[in-house]
Structure 1
Amino acid sequence: MSSPLLAIALASAISATSPAPTMQVKFDDLNLSTPAGQEILQKRIKSAAREVCGMDEKTTGTRIRSSESARCYNQAVGSATAAVAAAVRKARADS
């Protein structure tokens, strides 16, 4: 595999003038040509998106996530789709 990291640009609830936060998701230990490897990568992506978007942060007085956090999470996971698809195609071609 050419790159052991997948840089996922995470959508930000910050103003448009601020750069969107990113997080590196490691996958060099996974066999992406298998469904099990792909599933683990998806879990890592979702975990990274939850962390960066503040999905698990508690707000006093409510357990409901902010709409900004939810939007950030959905956009982050969605933006990783093309990069994951390319990594899976490469892994299948290499195997």
Structure 2
Amino acid sequence: MKKTLVALTLAAFALPASAQTISFEVEYRDLDLASEHGQKTLEQRIDIAARKACDYSRHTTGSRLRDAETRRCFEEAKASATKKFAAVIEQRANGG
């Protein structure tokens, strides 16, 4: 089964001069992206992959809340992957 690699570059928040690269894989070849079910499944897979890539399960000591950098990483990773896959979905809808 083929996979697609979604590579995202996010600015490191503590060190503005450097950049942090976040990358993760999302399998989609087994999905019918023309269907609502296939698109929802893809959305769930993107969510899971972005959580893992950004270490979203990690909490700040003494708090159940995630730090701002982790939340931002997750939100930007998910938004970027969703945008990239929108092009894939559109291409498949057009017969590509």
Other structure's SS at 2:26 match: strand
Q: TM-score, normalised by structure 1?
A: 0.81
Q: Where in structure 1 are there 5+ consecutive unaligned residues?
A: none
Q: Does 1:9 align with 2:5?
A: no
Report the Cα distance in structure 2 between the residues aligned to 1:10 and 1:53, rounded to whole angstroms. 12
Pairwise mapping of residues 13-28 of structure 1 onto structure 2 (< 5 A)? 13=12, 15=15, 16-28=17-29
Once residues 61 and 9 of structure 2 are traced to their aligned partners in structure 1, the CA distance between those partners, rounded to angstroms, is: 25
> Within 2, Cα distance between the matches of 1:38 and 1:8?
20
Match of 1:49?
50
Backbone CA RMSD of aligned residues: 2.2
Alignment identity in percent? 32
Structure 2 gaps, min length 5: none
For the residues of structure 2 that align with 1:75 and 1:4, how far apart are their CA atoms? 21
Q: Distance in 1 between matches of 2:9 and 2:74?
A: 8
- As a proportion of its length, which structure holds more strand? 2
Aligned length: 93
Normalising by structure 2, report the TM-score.
0.80
